[in-house]
Structures are given as C-alpha cells and as structure tokens.
Amino acid sequence: MRRRVPAAMTTTRAPRARASGFTLLEVMIALLLATIGLLGTVAVQQTMFNATANANDAAIATRLATQALEEFSARTVRIDLDQLATEVSPDWTDVKYLNSAGVRNATKTPEFRFKRETWVVNQGATSPYAVSVRVTYDLDNGSAKTIRVDQQRRKTW
C-alpha cells in the first residue's frame, strides 16, 4: 500500500543547480569587455587612416619638388645660352601654391595647400648651379611639414 504524503511536505522544492545559465551581471561584464576591445580597434584604425593621409601628402610634396627640379634640368645651360642665369636669387623665391595635381594658384586655399619655393645659386663660372626646391604643407594635426630636394646643375662650358 502506498502512503500518502501530507500536503504541507509537497510544497518544498529541491535546490536547482547554479550552472543552468548566465546571470545578468556576467552578460554585462562580457559586453563591457567586448566594447573596450572594439574601441581599441577603432582607435588603431583611425591612427592608420591618419598615417596613410600623411604618407600620401609626403608623396605628393616629393613629387611636386621633383617636378620643379625636372623643369630646371630641362633648361639649357651653355656658354651662349644660359637659361638658369635668370633664376639665380639670394634667397627662396618663386612662391607658388599648388594642389595635388601640380596646378598653380596665387594664394593658399584648402585645395592649393602645397607651398613650393625655389632657390638657384650660381656657385661660380666653373662651378655648377645649386638648385633647391622645398615644398611645405600642413599635417592633419596642424603642424607644418617641409620636403626639400637639392641638386647640382652642371654647366656645359
């Protein structure tokens, strides 16, 4: 025969196991850690974008300086025709503001932000010309960066 269990004894429950799921606190901590990790990734990505932009600007400035040197190299320098003699100056001259394509403008604007200056020095009748070109532009943090390229242009007399 079966025994009957009184009703007062049937209302107590057995304790549940604690490993049945995550608590709200554990989920919030996991989300916090994931957010911190994602913010670190975003910061690294932003730094890389800025570094890429600065490297691109340096490449443009170098190309613009080299372009000016090529223009000076294309000039004739002979005893009967010296096309560099008119470019000789005591200091930096020929200030031009350029855009990334090398188009000139008289004033600095956000598009024409590369300032190119030249300096040609005649070192003597038997010595070569010293040709210098510098290009100045602003970095993304506002500080100025200058690229300078120098070369000697030999005379053919």
N-terminal to C-terminal alpha carbon distance within the chain: 132
Average pLDDT, the chain: 89
Q: How do the domains of the chain map onto residue ranges?
A: 58-153
| 112 band by pLDDT with thresholds 50, 70 and 90 | very high
Length in residues, the chain: 157
Rounded Cα gap, residues 62 and 70, in angstroms: 12
Mean pLDDT of 42-52: 93
Rounded Cα gap, residues 127 and 91, in angstroms: 19
Q: Which amino acid is at 113?
A: R
Is the pLDDT score of 50 beyond 70? yes
- Which of 60, 131, 71 has the alpha carbon at shortest distance from 98? 60
Mean pLDDT of 10-30: 75
